[in-house]
Chains A and B, each alone.
Chain A
Amino acid sequence: MTVRFDENRLDLVTAALNQALEMLQPLAKLLLPKELEPTTYLARIKDAGRVARSENI
């Protein structure tokens, strides 16, 4: 894939990207447990559906 930015556009994209990366900093600083896998959320949502619902309270 090739994406080209002309000089004016490069400035615009760089400024926006730097702003976004600043917002994403918490991800870079995280110390997550080694055993935490990235795809487990899908399985967790499916399992959660089988938990009893708060009916008839």
Chain B
Amino acid sequence: MTLREIAKKIRSGETSPSEIVRLLLEQIRRTDDKLQAYITVCEESSLKLAEAAELQLKAGHDLGVLHGIPVSIKDLYETEGIRTTCGSRLMQDYVPKKDSTVVARLKSKGAIVLGKLNTHEFALGAMSPPTKNPWDLGRIPGGSSGGSAAALAMGSAIATTGSDTGGSIRIPASFCGVVGLKPTYGRVSRAGIFPESWSLDHAGPLTKRLEDAALLLRIMAGRDELDPTSSDLPVPDYVQELETNIAGLRVGVPTNHFFEHCDCEIAKAVNAAVEVLEGLGCTKVEFEFPSISEIMAAYTTIDLCEASAYHEREIEQRAADFQPDVRLLLEQGLLIPASYYIQAQRVRAMLFAKVMSLFDHLDVIVTPSVPIVSPQVSQTIVRIDDYEESVDSAAVRYLAPFNLTGLPALSIPCGFSSKGLPIGMQIAGRAYDESTILRLGHEYENATEWHMRLPETS
């Protein structure tokens, strides 16, 4: 059921905010001991707010489509009066005095904060321990927004938020078989969300259905004086725009990088998805993506240097309180030469111009989201044929180019491996043209049934 369908049922009296909150709390009680997606569950406050929402709706005071709908928030977003830990010992007692802009906007439309979801510590990793993957509890959910994707797949959340610096929304979306949208840089305010890397961070929704991502983006997006990088461009009605036909769109499929060192089941699933898009009237256009070796070097440099700058004081004073993997990344970032950082930003400027020129001949770019399915919890290295790399490196390889360019990109389920693990397809588009990638994803979702499958553990 989509969020709009739930909203209709609330207004017709078929269900109520209290019933929905109670069902979700029950699912959390039943599953979260093993899943460990939630850091904080707001049981008492969410039930109270649900009752208040019912009274408001009965009195004719309707705040909009999210009125009485519970949302679960990545624990990197500040939430007024609710502990915000960033998945870190360093923040275990931090209770913000105000909401991040995104949370405030969701609440202004009537959303109820159900709880806070686990993240890899300070979003600096793709594993999100101790959260597990609902499709196989011996595997990781991906990260850093791992709690968000895991809770959605498990049915213990119906709408969530995430953040994405090198793939942190799209990686867990792909591993857990849900929808994850990284909007254009500047489309959604980052105010009140703890940074990993200021110039690469993007906030966005993770949802079960594509229409829900469109709905949440409409509410989350728009200029915010608290984030000077946020855009003042008008925010379209993304849900309404889903109805526009996709026939005639030119779907770019890269011939380099994005299918290299890729699990053959994943490549096969994405190629099959492109055939579905062709069947819906799109035209496949093959092309070469520019400057890949420089892209990954530039992304890594910017991410490490900015993250280390942000955490400099804590590394100096409380290094032992970081998880070992995060501490090592931050220490490396302190030692990278400044000239590399500047060169990386110059590469970024060059790359943006090159990628934008691709869109003279394309409307969207379609690739696998991640070259691997979810690895085992204990795994740190993955091997694809003869190619060996770290899980983190494999996870970001196809996704980070769209953080570096700031272009919008989403991950949507497009199949399952022979082991029953979800496979994600990435759809990227022009700057501020989230509508086109959402339309394409929506029609693909309508034409397929991958989103209907549920993990046995749920």
Contacts and interface: CB of A to CB of B under 8 A. Distances in A.
Nearest to A20: B332
Given A3-B334, A24-B340, A36 B352 contact: no
B344 A1 contact: no
B224 interface: no
Interface stretch (B78-86, B117-125, B295-303, B445-453): B295-303
A3 B316 contact: yes
A53 B433 contact: yes
Given A3-B331, A27-B344, A45 B294 contact: no
Given A28-B343, A51-B431, 12 more contacts: A3-B319, A12-B328, A13-B331, A20-B304, A20-B336, A24-B297, A25-B297, A26-B297, A32-B343, A48-B352, A49-B231, A57-B363
A8 interface: no
Contacts of A48: 352, 356, 430-432
Given A3-B316, A3-B334, A42-B229, A57 B297 contact: no
A45 to B, nearest CB: 5
Interface of A: 1-3, 5, 12-13, 16-17, 20-21, 23-28, 30, 32, 36-42, 44-46, 48-51, 53-57
Nearest to B393: A23
16 contacts: A13-B335, A23-B300, A27-B298, A30-B343, A36-B350, A39-B345, A40-B349, A41-B348, A41-B405, A44-B349, A53-B430, A53-B433, A54-B363, A54-B436, A56-B244, A57-B247
Contacts of A23: 296-297, 300
Interface string B19-62: 00000000000000000000000000000000000000000000
B432 A53 contact: yes
A38 B345 contact: yes
B136 interface: no
A49 B184 contact: yes
Interface residues of B, number: 54
B435 A27 contact: no
Given A28-B340, A48-B432, A57 B328 contact: no
Nearest to B353: A44
A48 B349 CA distance: 13
B98 interface: no
B406 interface: yes
A29 B406 CA distance: 25
A6 to B, nearest CB: 11
A51 to B, nearest CB: 7
Contacts of B185: 45
Contacts of A40: 349
Nearest to B328: A16
B350 A24 contact: no
Contacts of A17: 331-332, 335-336
Contacts of A55: 241, 244, 435-436
Contact of B349 (A5, A28, A41, A49): A41
B249 A57 contact: yes
A37 B346 contact: yes
B241 to A, nearest CB: 8
B161 to A, nearest CB: 22
